[in-house]
Each structure stands twice: as C-alpha cells, then as structure tokens.
Amino acid sequence: MTDRRFRARSLALAAVAALGVVAPAAASPAQARPLALVQCQGTESDAYDPGVVFQPRNFEITTTGRFTSCLGGGDVTSGSYDERFTILAGCNDLLDGFQSARTVTWNTGEASVIEGTGSSTAVAGQVVTTFTGTVTSGPFTGRSAVQLIALPQPNLLMCLTTGFTGATGVTTLTIT
C-alpha cells in the first residue's frame, strides 16, 4: 500500500509539473493590453511664434495635446503629448502634408511613439488635420493609429496684420 501511495503521489507531482511547463504563464497587468479599439478624446493647443502671416516665413509651433478620456485601453485612461518644431509657412499654405513621430505619454507612465504622415483640409471655418500612422514603440506597438485634430482657421484680419498666434480645438485618437 505504501508503494501505491508513493506512485500516486509521484504521478500527481509529475502531472502538476508537466502542467506548469506546458501551460502558458498569465500576462502581468502591466503587460496586458486589450485587443479592442482604443479611442481617446481631448484638446490640442498650438502656439505660433512669431504669428503666422500671409507671406511665408519661419515660425516655431508649440503643440500641447491632452487626451482626457480614453476608452478600451485597459489601464490607459488618459494621455498627453508636447512638441516643438519650426516650419516655413504662411496663412495660405498651412495645409501642406507632413511626416512626424508623436510621443504620447499615458497616465500609466508609459509612452507610445506613433510614426506617420499627416495632411490638413479647410472645412467650415476649421483646419482639420488627419495624422495616420503606426505605433512603433510602447503600449499598443504594431497597431494602427489615426488622430483627427480640428482647429479654427486663421483669422483673415490677423493674417494681414500682426499674425495668427495660436488656436485650440478638439482631437480624437483611435488605435486599432
């Protein structure tokens, strides 16, 4: 009887050990990322220095974006991005296409880099920019991203005088 108990225990231990080797380990909460659509809503503010006028000239753009509500991203519920760059443009050619690598820092402390291209159109008194790319690092790596940004069009009077110095509008980021 002792021999049978020993064999039963040995078989039970072997089965448990085999399951431990074969069964995949559960992902830790920090690594787990939902596969569902992630959508973030927020605002973007752009400041132009010096102001944008009709005659094209170099000016610096400081962009501050805040996603105040993100759904479908698990622990990711908000995020932000800040950029500063210089371009040569005027009020008439703010709609040119561009390439960018945008870094979004999430409420979790992690950051995602989205590399892509953008273009803008003027629609009903707004400049609507569509930035389309791929998340190349951080949470959601390998997934597609589309950001829409709607800012008021430059004021014609300001373009003719001191220059258009900034705008704030709404933005939506969708990660699929």
pTM score of the predicted model: 0.76
Among the listed residues 32, 39, 33, the one whose alpha carbon sits nearest the alpha carbon of residue 145: 39
**Cross-strand partners of 175:** 38, 145
DSSP states of 84-100? EEEEEE-GGGTT--EEE
Tell me 112's DSSP state: E
pLDDT tens for the chain, residues 1 to 176: 444 333 333 333 333 333 333 333 444 444 444 568 999 999 999 999 999 998 889 999 999 999 999 999 999 999 999 999 888 888 877 767 788 899 999 999 999 999 999 988 888 888 899 999 999 999 999 999 999 999 998 888 888 888 999 999 999 999 99
61-87 in b/e form (b: 16+ CB < 10 A) is bebebbbeebeebeebebbebeeeeeb
